[in-house]
Amino acid sequence: MQVIILGSGSPIPDPERAGPSTLVRTSIGDLLFDCGRGVLMRAAAAGSGAGAFQALLLTHLHSDHITDLNDVFTMRWVMSFSPNPLPVFGPSGTARLLHATEAMLEPDIGYRLTHHDDLKWRPSAVVTEVGSGVMLDQGTVRVTAAPTDHAPVRPTVGYRVDDEGRSVVIAGDTVPCAGLDRLCADADVLVHTVVRRDLIEQFGLPRLTDVLDYHSSVPDAARTAERNGVRKLILTHLVPAPTPGTEQEWLDQAAANFNGEVVLASDLLAVEV
């Protein structure tokens, strides 16, 4: 397996960091986790694209994690030469989101159907709403979901991908919780969204400090990895984005709580599993 961080950013637009999105390359093809701002641009740079995704898996429906759902949905359609429904997995509410996305795109769908004689079908998705348990089992690939805790955002899920004896966990946005612990048990790689509590508290603005109660800090994520025997921790969705020269601070905070390898994500970081 290979993990490629397509977007290591957050809701705050950043010229260097696309929105939250992770590509996991498996023996059955590419699995896309979340689809934040700029996802298809980064996927193109990684040699992938909407038509190649074996599935899109959403951790939750916060806007920064689904910003470019419309782009993935549309490009899957117009770049395919026969009907190619997009398989989508996500928490309760995902089907409603896909229906709303299609409705929003209705004018565009009409334009394209009218203009392209060889485009005789509409875009479509096959949606599976998940909560806990194995939700994809194909070849040597098994994907398991478990509930996470990003309250008041409910429900939210994390995912574990197992393939040929290797394992990757995608935590999504969450505080430490039992569901995430179950996914992380003895995993090779944990991709975890994190915030810097020490920096955010210095700003003192309620709109910013509010994020602390439903995201994991760097030490939180590190302790989750250590508690569950994870071998490599990738820190992503970095809030605030590290300023040049401060990257080691993030690594040091994690290393103080985790004995495995720590990697600070940047866009298009590729990690072999």
Catalytic residue positions, numbered: 64
Give the burial class of 173: count Cβ atoms within 10 A of its Cβ; 0-12 exposed, 13-18 middle, 19 or more buried. buried
Give the burial class of 18: count Cβ atoms within 10 A of its Cβ; 0-12 exposed, 13-18 middle, 19 or more buried. buried
Q: CA 83, 84, 90, 94 torsion: positive or negative?
A: negative
Cα–Cα distance, 173 to 128 (Å, whole number)? 20
Give the residue from 1, 22, 12 showing the smallest Cα distance to 158.
22
Strand order in the sheet with 269-272: 125-129, 86-90, 53-57, 29-33, 21-26, 2-7, 269-272
Cα–Cα distance, 170 to 161 (Å, whole number)? 8
Contact 193/215 with Cβ under 8 angstroms? yes
Cα–Cα distance, 224 to 188 (Å, whole number)? 13
